[in-house]
Amino acid sequence: MVRFAAAVGVLAVLVVASLVWAAERPRQRAPERPTTEPTRLAKGSVTTRAIRNNTIQLRDLRRPLRRLVREPGPPGRDGEDGQDGLDGDDGEEGLDGEDGEDGEDGVSGYEVVRKTTEVPADQASASDEVDCPGDKVVVGGGALPSSDNQVARFNVAFTGPQDDNSGWQASVTRAGPGPWTLRVQAICTYLTPER
């Protein structure tokens, strides 16, 4: 009798356990069949976080939304920098320009010509000039009087180019004793004639 009661008890426990297990077991869904019908989702059921990158293309949007996506957005608030735009395409290289003709030298044959004249002690003034060689013209010059007597004083009355620009001329006066020297120099060069 005790054995029979124990067997019935074990059988009852097994039946109850199987019923509990069947009630708590998750139901298996039948596999979904592919369909070509568009799926309509409830408004607000898909959020930005639920969309993975590159899963929605421009063609998936309605035409009004496509236009909004293509157009630039409104300007940002003051103090905020907008996003950088895309780099533009590089332009085509321009054509190389033609080489110009070589010009003629403006100045050549630079030369300094000097002429020194010894002036006697009884002569208080002297004038002299120096010519440029050949076809050269004068572009500068000067006069440099000198004396061994330190008390002698000189005054350059005139110094400048000759009238035809072929040399330099100068006039100097002296105050003080003793002989003295007058040196006149000219800076000569060739110049390209004007066209």
| 28 occurs within a structural domain | no
Selection from 144, 146, 156 nearest residue 179 by Cα: 146
| 41 occurs within a structural domain | no
- 182 pLDDT above the threshold of 80: yes
Per the structure, the count of domains in the chain is: 1
Task: Note the pLDDT of residue 13.
Answer: 60
| 60 occurs within a structural domain | no
Cβ–Cβ under 8 Å, residues 172 and 157: yes
Task: Note the pLDDT of residue 23.
Answer: 61
Domain interval for residue 144: 107-191
Please state, in angstroms and rounded to a whole number, the distance separating the CA atoms of residues 189 and 137. Answer: 6
Cβ–Cβ under 8 Å, residues 183 and 143: yes
pLDDT, tens digit, 9 for 90 and up, residues 47-106: 766 677 777 777 777 777 777 766 666 666 666 677 888 888 888 888 989 988 887 767
| 174 occurs within a structural domain | yes
Residue 27 makes CB contacts below 8 A (sequence gap 6+) with none
- 195 pLDDT above the threshold of 50: no
Please state, in angstroms and rounded to a whole number, the distance separating the CA atoms of residues 27 and 17. Answer: 18
- 12 pLDDT above the threshold of 50: yes
pLDDT, tens digit, 9 for 90 and up, residues 125-181: 999 999 999 889 999 999 999 998 888 899 999 999 999 999 999 999 999 888 999
| 146 occurs within a structural domain | yes
Pairing of strands 125-131, 167-175: antiparallel
Cβ–Cβ under 8 Å, residues 186 and 130: yes
Task: Check residues 74 and 7 and name the one with the higher pLDDT.
Answer: 74
Q: How far is CA 195 from CA 77, 104, 135, 175, in A?
A: 65, 11, 18, 49
Please state, in angstroms and rounded to a whole number, the distance separating the CA atoms of residues 73 and 12. Answer: 72
Positive/negative CA dihedral, 120, 121, 122, 127 = positive
| 16 occurs within a structural domain | no
| 113 occurs within a structural domain | yes
Please state, in angstroms and rounded to a whole number, the distance separating the CA atoms of residues 31 and 52. Answer: 24
| 135 occurs within a structural domain | yes
